[in-house]
Structure 1
């Protein structure tokens, strides 16, 4: 299967998951709106979900795959199985201890890390029906305790997914997160049917997260068995392989999860303002769709491809793979960023504005989404640049770049939050993403690990020009369709207007990018004529 075909396989599975993620967020927004229960659930879920992104999309893909692939090549399947068993057994023990400690000390975690703003909460005496600060604190602790074991499930999921990816079997691991969306959609539909109150909905959603985590682990374990590989449990031992994994995985976790670290920091700061956490979360979902489709697909596929080319001494192939990956990323993410920046309000109104989610919530979330959109290309480029380091087992350099951008994000978030509220946090996240991307690329360029070819420069410029043309057309259409996009226009009118906006903007962009040579025509035609072949056993 070609490189683009592999991107399409993983990206398609991720798209499947993210589409149902939209449905989940739509139901949640309708049921909970922007309020204390939504804040409590999002705060509690963000902590284990942070580790899911760090491990599943960062540390294990970056550290485990090269080491596992080396064991497989040098020692055969038995040697690889022995190495994987060592890691799995140690991981299981550590995660069990971590979960027990977190459950015991959860009040301290909530106060200091998860939601420090709750300590500054003040009750509103003019609204006796509002949830009190004490209740907000209690349900945040309760939701966090229920969902924290999800962290352990996701770490084990990452372990098994790394094995599948090393065997070039990407589909099962990419589609497994859909189980979370199915579980939450089912719970929300049932709660709507029985007319449950908001707090009850929050509790049932928390349990659904935990159950879905166990289901995801079971799913990839079955896929691994079908691939002819299995793991066992033994007494944990300190081995050279484990030591090497920890040396690589620690920095890789920070590097691979920079987006989630920034969002986590932002939500912790946003907990000082009621409703701000939910606003950031609802804006994050549309922004994560293109990031997940393109960024995650590239991160999953590019690392093993680069590792194989470098170990075989095919440096020219490695350079070509890097340039084409960046070209592919920009081709899809730049127009998505422009569209999300130009028309965030119609998108948010169509997705969320119903039930407890009113017009004022739409405006607040749309403003945040527009700022997030400006950072979309940067965060996808981070996914392209980091495998260039990881494939060479270098985690120190990108860790420094990522640490610098994370510090910048904290400083900017603290400074901008008190000026722009949640919009300041979104802007800080975007700026720190660009800082990280520039530092990572400059590190590769200075060491001679990335040489930009003429084809990449030409096509990147044409992609930007084509996207700006598309943005101009969108502005004209937004003015012409304004009465169909206004609050109260009706779901059918809004949906039809947004559909027109999307269809016309896509047509304009693709005509422009083909006409200017901003994309490899033969690559697109091959994708259209021959669907990507699924990996056997995936």
Structure 2
């Protein structure tokens, strides 16, 4: 029975990662098209600064709503509590989103001036106008993520993993036939409409399965609503940690000339597309299960689940980050370098992407540990860690940008996230006397060994391939394909030789099935 549950969870994680990967690839094609149309200059800086101040911030709020609502829904599902609390949360989210949208609209000029300090004249006015166009998306994003949380809590993972498809299709249509006429103002409007579409896609399933009871009132005294409000503010702040750091990075980049804010966007977008595919695919399935184990008072099972997820993050993200750093220049040139996106844009984007990719492991650790803290009802530690990361990043930006220029921005963010990840892991391990650290460090050591062998092999191979294949689309594609294939084979074989438990067990299962089939 336990094995069946593990297999079911693993299968669902694979499906979610697969669907998310497809969505991210489509998203990359969308951003490639944006890069082709806008490049990295005045207009693209306006659009991407607007995104970082509106949609990206609202996404943090939406993600926090989903994270906060899942434990409430799990408790409601297991204990069959009344539906008034869930309905009150839904109505409160609608009301607060409207209030926040109005306040944000009024304060838009001051918000833009605060975070786009290097923008003046027409560039500043366009950013304010675009920000106001996108503000209604806060309501659609909030409700979309409320629906996502409800569906994940009820173990309905497939549809939430597919909601980006209509959004991206709408973008492609506009970029193909509308941007020449309506420009980036129309692109801002399409972004807002795209989020409305995602909400509409989820709504029929939510209503059909009665996941969110719809009643026309708010019971402010209901325990579920109180629990939601107690948790939502710290979780919003924690969820927005990465976005706050991107806003800080954009502010520093806004002083370094046209194109640098766009390079931050492209580098961060590519980084997030990759890291969220793996990390969010894992935590989307495991977070509700963390909560179920906690409600069943199976604390030992919870601790084992957390450490196994962290080990999986190590095994996935350490080689992935090194591989992406090695292949980054070829990937970025292949994806973006066309139209008005030139070689200088590729260089700047590669610098940003390399810096962000280097803290992929820290990002994954913090996300998993935050989910574990929330399961235990601990919100103060993730909040303190998030604030610590932001303060360290601000300090490092001031220290490194003056010395290293644009390269200092993303590298400062990377160092800040690693400081936060180490501190978060240390504090989490102190919560439990029986936390199995030896298994974690055993996996870490073997993963680093295998990654070193893989990275060294790929690096030496590239020294041979570069002059042979040259700088071209076909050459870049060939190098990326060879690097990924060879890297995966070398990494997997090295882990099997080192007998890393998680990978070696999978290898033995495949080997035993093969022997049985040919017995």
TM-score calculated relative to the size of structure 2: 0.91
What is the distance in 1 between the residues matched to 2:111 and 2:469?
A: 43
What is the distance in 2 between the residues matched to 1:528 and 1:342?
A: 32
Is structure 2 residue 77 aligned with structure 1 residue 72? yes
Q: Check the 8 A contact 1:388/1:449 in 2, yes or no.
A: no
In structure 2, what is the equivalent of residue 35 of structure 1?
41
Aligned residues: 504
In structure 2, what is the equivalent of residue 262 of structure 1?
245
Q: Check the 8 A contact 2:311/2:440 in 1, yes or no.
A: yes
What is the distance in 1 between the residues matched to 2:255 and 2:215?
A: 44
In structure 1, what is the equivalent of residue 123 of structure 2?
136
Which sections of structure 1, spanning at least 5 residues, go unmatched? 120-133, 531-538
In structure 2, what is the equivalent of residue 372 of structure 1?
356
In structure 2, what is the equivalent of residue 21 of structure 1?
27
| Cα distance change, pair 524–24 in 1 and its aligned pair in 2 (3 A) | farther
| Cα distance change, pair 527–276 in 1 and its aligned pair in 2 (3 A) | farther
In structure 2, what is the equivalent of residue 62 of structure 1?
67
| Cα distance change, pair 222–422 in 1 and its aligned pair in 2 (3 A) | farther
What is the distance in 2 between the residues matched to 1:205 and 1:444?
A: 43
**Alpha-carbon deviations, 1:101-139, whole Å to 9, x = none?**
3223322221123x22214xxxxxxxxxxxxxx221222
In structure 1, what is the equivalent of residue 54 of structure 2?
48
Is structure 2 residue 371 aligned with structure 1 residue 387? yes
In structure 2, what is the equivalent of residue 238 of structure 1?
220
Is structure 2 residue 445 aligned with structure 1 residue 458? no
Three-state SS of the structure 1 residue aligned to 2:238 is helix
What is the distance in 1 between the residues matched to 2:226 and 2:440?
A: 39
Q: Check the 8 A contact 2:260/2:348 in 1, yes or no.
A: no
Q: Check the 8 A contact 1:378/1:434 in 2, yes or no.
A: yes
What is the distance in 2 between the residues matched to 1:97 and 1:475?
A: 53
What is the distance in 2 between the residues matched to 1:156 and 1:512?
A: 46
**Alpha-carbon deviations, 1:132-174, whole Å to 9, x = none?**
xx22122212221111212221111111111111101122222
In structure 2, what is the equivalent of residue 222 of structure 1?
204
Q: Check the 8 A contact 1:470/1:509 in 2, yes or no.
A: yes
Query: How far did 1:441 drift?
Result: 0.9
Q: Check the 8 A contact 2:101/2:135 in 1, yes or no.
A: yes
In structure 2, what is the equivalent of residue 344 of structure 1?
328
Q: Check the 8 A contact 2:331/2:476 in 1, yes or no.
A: no
What is the distance in 2 between the residues matched to 1:483 and 1:398?
A: 48
| Cα distance change, pair 108–453 in 1 and its aligned pair in 2 (3 A) | closer
What is the distance in 2 between the residues matched to 1:159 and 1:51?
A: 16
Q: Check the 8 A contact 1:66/1:391 in 2, yes or no.
A: yes
Residues 431-510 of structure 1 aligned to structure 2 (within 5 Å)? 431-448=415-432, 451-483=435-467, 486=470, 489-510=471-492
Q: Check the 8 A contact 1:279/1:422 in 2, yes or no.
A: no
Query: How far did 1:525 drift?
Result: 7.7
Q: Which has the higher contact order (CA 8 A, sep 6+)?
A: 1
What is the distance in 1 between the residues matched to 2:460 and 2:448?
A: 19
Q: Please identify, of 492-501 and 242-251, the stretch whose mean Cα deviation from structure 2 is larger.
A: 492-501
Three-state SS of the structure 1 residue aligned to 2:54 is helix
What is the distance in 2 between the residues matched to 1:18 and 1:446?
A: 36
Q: Check the 8 A contact 1:161/1:173 in 2, yes or no.
A: yes
Q: Check the 8 A contact 1:191/1:201 in 2, yes or no.
A: yes
| Cα distance change, pair 263–312 in 1 and its aligned pair in 2 (3 A) | same
In structure 1, what is the equivalent of residue 17 of structure 2?
11
Query: How far did 1:89 drift?
Result: 0.7
What is the distance in 2 between the residues matched to 1:149 and 1:450?
A: 48
Three-state SS of the structure 2 residue aligned to 1:357 is coil
Three-state SS of the structure 2 residue aligned to 1:370 is helix
In structure 1, what is the equivalent of residue 516 of structure 2?
none
Q: Check the 8 A contact 1:283/1:369 in 2, yes or no.
A: yes
Is structure 2 residue 133 aligned with structure 1 residue 146? yes
| Cα distance change, pair 450–354 in 1 and its aligned pair in 2 (3 A) | farther
Query: How far did 1:61 drift?
Result: 3.5
Q: Check the 8 A contact 1:187/1:205 in 2, yes or no.
A: yes
What is the distance in 2 between the residues matched to 1:257 and 1:9?
A: 27
| Cα distance change, pair 42–291 in 1 and its aligned pair in 2 (3 A) | same
**Alpha-carbon deviations, 1:385-408, whole Å to 9, x = none?**
112210011101221122111111
**Alpha-carbon deviations, 1:292-338, whole Å to 9, x = none?**
11211233222211111122121221122111101111111111110
| Cα distance change, pair 268–236 in 1 and its aligned pair in 2 (3 A) | farther
Query: How far did 1:529 drift?
Result: 12
In structure 2, what is the equivalent of residue 109 of structure 1?
111
Residues 204-215 of structure 1 aligned to structure 2 (within 5 Å)? 204-215=186-197
In structure 2, what is the equivalent of residue 536 of structure 1?
none
What is the distance in 2 between the residues matched to 1:158 and 1:529?
A: 43
Query: How far did 1:526 drift?
Result: 7.0
In structure 1, what is the equivalent of residue 304 of structure 2?
320
Q: Check the 8 A contact 1:261/1:406 in 2, yes or no.
A: yes
| Cα distance change, pair 450–27 in 1 and its aligned pair in 2 (3 A) | farther
Q: What do you get for the CA RMSD once the two structures are aligned?
A: 2.3
Q: Please identify, of 333-342 and 490-499, the stretch whose mean Cα deviation from structure 2 is larger.
A: 490-499
Query: How far did 1:278 drift?
Result: 0.4
Residues 163-174 of structure 1 aligned to structure 2 (within 5 Å)? 163-174=150-161
Residues 190-201 of structure 1 aligned to structure 2 (within 5 Å)? 190-191=177-178, 196=180, 200-201=182-183
What is the distance in 1 between the residues matched to 2:149 and 2:175?
A: 32
